[in-house]
Structure 1
Amino acid sequence: MIEFKQVEKKYANGTTALKNINLSIEQGEFVAIIGLSGAGKSTLIRCINRMHEITGGRLHVDGVDVGKLKGGQVRRFRRRIGMIFQSFNLVTRTSVIKNVLVSFVPDLPLWRKLTGIFTKDHKIKALEALDKVGILDKAYIRVDQLSGGQQQRVALARTLAQNPDIILADEPIASLDPVTSRMVMDDFKRINQEMNISVIMNIHHVEVALEYADRIIGIRQGEVVFDGEASGVTAAVLGEIYGGRFEEEMSVQAEAGIAYV
């Protein structure tokens, strides 16, 4: 379980990104976080794995007070949480399998880190992760020879290889075309259902969020203004989340070439 208890986040320049966040997310949920750009969506999910420090309240993951973790405790804690970025964060000039094997590096003895030699078990786990996202046949191809959608699936396989309890996804389909977006979202949904991994996704594509997520959290100016089932999201709810700027936001997305059809 992930529990936000009156969580606040203020940046050094005085900007308040989150205020009075109270949420409970159970293991195995598929949650989409929606709202205008700058509403605090990315900040919310990045607080879960301590990429951002909260400045008020408490944040617990399976009973662990995330804010009290230090040094090696933070690194070990993050092993349980996979993170998927819009930009993929892959080493494009090397092979797909080597990018997946990177997930094991934090647990390797120093000599293996220096030599880049992985065990047979590590390689098998990496190949199994690639198989789960349907790109096992690309294992020994250089990443820069793959499409954007395939690269995002490599990133997902790398996350799966670390056997996480939670996957955080920060705009994972923002740079993908509609057909590829659906394929990647199908992967997220299947992994969520078959492996009982919690998926918490920050996403601009409202239609996609409503189709794939079980639960929608709407953020407006750093506050939760809606928290409920996807089926409960109405035009009025979207108006509350987007402050009457929903159509404007969709137009911006369309002009940016990220509209989902």
Structure 2
Amino acid sequence: MIEFINVGKTYSNNVKALQNINLQIDKGEFVAIIGLSGAGKSTLIRCINQMHDITEGSLVVDDVEVNSLRGKEIRKFRQRIGMIFQSFNLVSRISVLKNVLVSFVPELPFWRKITGIFTKDQKIKALTALDKVGILDKAYVRVDQLSGGQQQRVALARTLAQNPDIILADEPIASLDPITARQVMDDFARINQETNMTIIINIHHVEIALEYAERIIGVREGQIVFDGKVEEVTKDVLQHIYQGETKDIKEIQLEERKRNYV
């Protein structure tokens, strides 16, 4: 379980990214976080694995007070939380399999880190993860020879190989075409259903968020302005989240693309 209790985050330039966040996410939930660029969505999910420190309140993950962790405790804690980025964060000049094996580096003894030698069990776990996302046949292909969608699946396989309890995804389909985006979202949905793994996605594609997630959290100016089931999301709710005169989902997406372009 993830619990935010009166959480706030203020950056060094005195910008308040999060204000008075009170939120509970239970194991196995598939949650989509929506809102305008700069609303605080990325900050919200990055606080969960302490990529960002909170400056107020308390953030607890499975009875662990996240902001009390230091040094090795943080690294061990992060092994339980997979993080997927828009940019994939892959090493393009090496194979798909080697990129997935990177997930085991933190737990390797020093000599294995230096030599790059992984155990048979680790290789099996990496290959199994690739099979789960449908790209086992690409295991020995260099990453720079893959499409964007395939690279995102490699990033997902790398996360699955570490066997996390939670997956955080920060705009995982932002750079993908519509068909590929849905293929990646299908992977998230299947993993959530088959493993009961908690998945939290920060996403600009409102229509896709409503199609795949079971719960929507709307963030505006660093505050949660909506938290409910997908069925509860109406045009009025979307207008409230996005603050504009928007009438439907397509108009929201058009306005968001304009803002990103500018």
Structure-2-length-normalised TM-score: 0.96
2:246 matched to 1:230?
no
Distance in 1 between the 2:96 and 2:39 partners?
35
Deviation string 1:219-246 (CA, Å, 9 cap, x unpaired) is: 0000000000011100000011001254
2:67 matched to 1:67?
yes
2:243 counterpart letter in structure 1: G
Deviation string 1:194-237 (CA, Å, 9 cap, x unpaired) is: 01110000000000000000000000000000000011100000
Alignment check: 8 A CA contact 1:36 1:249 kept: no
Task: Name the SS for the 2:183 alignment partner.
Answer: helix
Identity %: 72
Task: Name the SS for the 2:163 alignment partner.
Answer: coil
CA distance 1:156–1:246, change in 2 (3 Å) = farther
Distance in 2 between the 1:246 and 1:150 partners?
34
Task: Name the SS for the 1:251 alignment partner.
Answer: helix
1:234 counterpart letter in structure 2: T
Q: 2:21: which partner in 1? A: 21
- Give the superposition deviation at 1:251: 1.7
- Give the superposition deviation at 1:250: 1.9
Distance in 1 between the 2:111 and 2:37 partners?
44
Gaps of 5+ in 2: none
- Give the superposition deviation at 1:139: 0.2
Number of corresponding residues: 258
CA distance 1:39–1:134, change in 2 (3 Å) = same
Task: Name the SS for the 2:239 alignment partner.
Answer: helix
Deviation string 1:94-131 (CA, Å, 9 cap, x unpaired) is: 00000000000000000000000011111000000000
Distance in 2 between the 1:115 and 1:6 partners?
46
Q: Over aligned residue pairs, what C-alpha RMSD do you find? A: 1.4
Gaps of 5+ in 1: none
Q: 1:149: which partner in 2? A: 149
- Give the superposition deviation at 1:27: 0.3
Q: 1:201: which partner in 2? A: 201
Q: 1:107: which partner in 2? A: 107
Q: 2:45: which partner in 1? A: 45
Q: 1:140: which partner in 2? A: 140
Q: 1:220: which partner in 2? A: 220
Q: 2:253: which partner in 1? A: 250
Q: 1:95: which partner in 2? A: 95
Distance in 2 between the 1:144 and 1:184 partners?
18
Distance in 2 between the 1:30 and 1:202 partners?
11
Task: Name the SS for the 1:50 alignment partner.
Answer: coil
Task: Name the SS for the 1:174 alignment partner.
Answer: coil
Distance in 2 between the 1:245 and 1:45 partners?
28
- Give the superposition deviation at 1:84: 0.3
Alignment check: 8 A CA contact 1:218 1:241 kept: yes
2:188 counterpart letter in structure 1: F
Distance in 2 between the 1:145 and 1:55 partners?
42
1:140 counterpart letter in structure 2: Y
1:149-188 equivalent positions in 2, closer than 5 A:
149-188=149-188
Distance in 1 between the 2:245 and 2:101 partners?
43
Distance in 2 between the 1:251 and 1:120 partners?
49
1:210 counterpart letter in structure 2: L
- Give the superposition deviation at 1:89: 0.2
Q: 1:76: which partner in 2? A: 76
1:154 counterpart letter in structure 2: V
CA distance 1:10–1:224, change in 2 (3 Å) = same
Runs of 4+ in 1 over 2 A off after TM superposition: 245-249, 252-258
Structure-1-length-normalised TM-score: 0.96
2:31 matched to 1:34?
no
2:6 matched to 1:3?
no
Task: Name the SS for the 2:241 alignment partner.
Answer: helix
Alignment check: 8 A CA contact 2:7 2:20 kept: yes
